[in-house]
Amino acid sequence: MHEVRLVGDNVEQGIYSFQEAMRIADEQNLDLVEISASANPPVCRVLDYQKFLYQKKRKEKEQKANSAKIVIKEIRFGPQTDEHDYNFKLKHAQEFLKDGNKVKAYVFFRGRSIMFKEQGELLLARFANDLQDVAKVEQLPKLEGKRMILNLAPKK
């Protein structure tokens, strides 16, 4: 690396020899940091590297704090869930979805009730159909062990 393109706040931009760029950075008690190695000639910036790392870390932390946290609420059914319980759980699911949470509805088969897989599938299909105005189906009903699972996400 013989020549570098120098950029920075209080530096005259241009192409300098590597030694000259290092001397300019040392005069200002700053560091010479390579920004783009693939450019021809490579681009270097004169800056305080510790301050640069600190600000980068702070920005990442800020972005992480501002990012939405996804919460998944679970609703459990039995294969023979009666009408009143179904409506009660449907109302809860609507509230969860309006709050922006995802909903994981599942039918839990206990003992021999696994023989009623069709009932569980119909129940979850009805559940998804009743919530279609506030939710979109992320995963269709799928049997995993003794559970049949349906995932729903709120509509934007």
CA distance 28 to 47: 9
The CATH number of whichever domain residue 134 belongs to comes to 3.30.110.10
pLDDT for 90 equals 92
Are residues 76 and 57 located together in one domain of the fold?
no
CA distance 38 to 117: 59
pLDDT for 78 equals 85
Task: Determine if the pTM surpasses 0.75.
Answer: no
pLDDT for 75 equals 93
Are residues 77 and 142 located together in one domain of the fold?
yes
Are residues 100 and 54 located together in one domain of the fold?
no
Least confident of 1-15, 33-47, 53-67: 1-15
CA distance 128 to 144: 18
Let me know if 19 is exposed, middle or buried by CB neighbors in 10 A (0-12, 13-18, 19+): exposed
pLDDT in tens, 104-140: 999 988 888 777 788 888 889 999 999 988 889 888 8
User: Strand, coil or helix: what is 13?
Assistant: coil
What confidence tier does 156 reach under pLDDT thresholds 50, 70, 90? confident
The candidate with the shortest Cα–Cα distance to 51, out of 6, 1, 9, is: 9
- List C-alpha distances in Å: 12 to 6, 7, 16, 28, 46: 8, 7, 10, 13, 11
pLDDT in tens, 67-89: 777 888 999 998 888 899 999 99
Are residues 143 and 77 located together in one domain of the fold?
yes
What confidence tier does 1 reach under pLDDT thresholds 50, 70, 90? low
Are residues 17 and 60 located together in one domain of the fold?
yes
CA distance 76 to 98: 19
- Domain range for 119 is 72-154
pLDDT in tens, 13-45: 889 999 999 999 898 899 998 988 888 889 999
pLDDT for 103 equals 92
48, pLDDT greater than 60: yes
The CATH number of whichever domain residue 36 belongs to comes to 3.10.20.80
Are residues 142 and 116 located together in one domain of the fold?
yes
